[in-house]
Amino acid sequence: MSSMTKRSQPTWSAPENVDCGRLQIYNSLTRRKNVFQPLSGKRVHWYNCGPTVYDSSHMGHARSYITFDIIRRILRDYFHYDVFFVQNVTDIDDKIIRRARQNHLFEKYQSELIGKDRAVVFQDAGKAFALLTTKLENETDPDKRTMLTKMVEATQSAITNTNIEIGDLVQLLKDPLSMWLDKEFGNSITDNEIFISLPRHFENDYNEDMQALNILPPDCITRVSEYVPEIVKYVQQIIDNGFGYVSNGSVYFDTEKFAQDDKHFYAKLVPEAYGDNKALAEGEGDLSTAIGDEKRNANDFALWKDSKPGEPSWPSPWGHGRPGWHIECSVMASELFGNQMDIHSGGIDLRFPHHDNEMAQAEAFYNSGLPWVNYFLHSGHLTISGCKMSKSLKNFITIKEALSKNTARQLRLAFLLHSWKDTLDYSDNTMTDAVNYEKTVNEFFLTVKDIVRNHKQLSTEKKVVKWNDAEKLLHQKFQEHIVSVDQALKDNIDTKTACDELRRLITAANIYIQEKQTTSNVNLLNSIARFITNILNIFGCIGLGEPIGFPIDQFSGSGFDREQEILPFIEVVSNLRQEIRSKARELKSKELFQLCDSIRDDILPQLGVRMEDYETDSGLQTRLKFVDKDILLRERDERIKAEQLKQHEKETKNKLAAKPKEAPIAPSELFRKELDKYSQFDDNGLPTHDHEGKELSKSAAKKVAKLYQIQEKKYNDYLKQLQNLVGGDAK
Backbone φ and ψ of 426, nearest 5°: -85, 105
Give yes or no for a contact between 581 and 620, defined as CB atoms under 8 angstroms apart: yes
Find the radius of gyration of the CA atoms of the chain.
37
Q: State the average pLDDT for the chain.
A: 89
Residue 382: its H or E element:
strand 382-384
Q: At what angle do helices 193-212 and 59-73 cross, to 10 degrees?
A: 60
**Whether the bond into 353 is cis, omega within 30 of 0:** yes
- Inform me whether the pLDDT recorded for 335 exceeds 50: yes
d(CA 421, CA 727): 60
What is the mean pLDDT of the segment spanning 250-269? 96
Give yes or no for a contact between 28 and 376, defined as CB atoms under 8 angstroms apart: yes
DSSP per-residue codes, 315-374: --TT-SEEE-TTHHHHHHHHHHHTT-EEEEEEEGGGIIIIIHHHHHHHHHHH-SS--SEE
Separation in Å, CA 511 to CA 25, 28, 520, 525, 653? 35, 43, 11, 12, 36
> What pLDDT score was predicted for residue 351?
97
Closest C-alpha to 169, from 133, 104, 122, 111: 122
Residues 358-412 have pLDDT tens digits of: 999 999 999 999 999 999 999 999 998 788 776 666 678 999 999 999 999 999 9
What is the mean pLDDT of the segment spanning 237-241? 98
Which residue did the predictor score with more confidence, 292 or 70? 70
Residues 406-464 have pLDDT tens digits of: 999 999 999 999 999 999 999 999 999 999 999 999 999 999 998 988 887 765 666 67
Confidence band, pLDDT 50/70/90 cuts, at residue 730: very low
Q: State the pairing for strand pair 609-616/619-626.
A: antiparallel
d(CA 70, CA 73): 5
Residues 281-319 have pLDDT tens digits of: 888 887 876 545 689 999 999 999 999 999 999 999 999
Backbone φ and ψ of 625, nearest 5°: -130, 130
Q: Give the least confident one: 123-127, 170-174, 255-259, 683-687.
A: 683-687
DSSP per-residue codes, 454-506: HHHTS-HHHH-----HHHHHHHHHHHHHHHHHHHHHHBT--HHHHHHHHHHHH
Residues 148-184 have pLDDT tens digits of: 999 999 999 999 988 888 999 999 999 999 999 999 9
Question: Hey, which of 1-5, 58-62, 612-616, 648-652 has the most confident mean pLDDT?
Answer: 58-62
- Inform me whether the pLDDT recorded for 19 exceeds 70: no
Q: State the pairing for strand pair 321-323/301-306.
A: antiparallel
The dihedral over CA atoms of 367, 373, 379, 380, expressed in degrees to the nearest 10, equals 60
d(CA 442, CA 448): 10
Query: Coil, strand or helix: which one is 46?
Result: strand
- Inform me whether the pLDDT recorded for 328 exceeds 80: yes
Give yes or no for a contact between 300 and 255, defined as CB atoms under 8 angstroms apart: yes
> What pLDDT score was predicted for residue 28?
98
The dihedral over CA atoms of 431, 433, 439, 445, expressed in degrees to the nearest 10, equals -120
Q: Write 627-636 long-range contacts (CB < 8 A, 24+).
A: 627/442, 627/446, 627/552, 628/552, 629/605, 632/605, 632/608, 633/605, 633/606, 635/605, 635/610, 636/601, 636/602, 636/605
d(CA 521, CA 525): 6
Q: Residue type for 326, please?
A: H
Residue 384: its H or E element:
strand 382-384
Give yes or no for a contact between 607 and 629, defined as CB atoms under 8 angstroms apart: yes
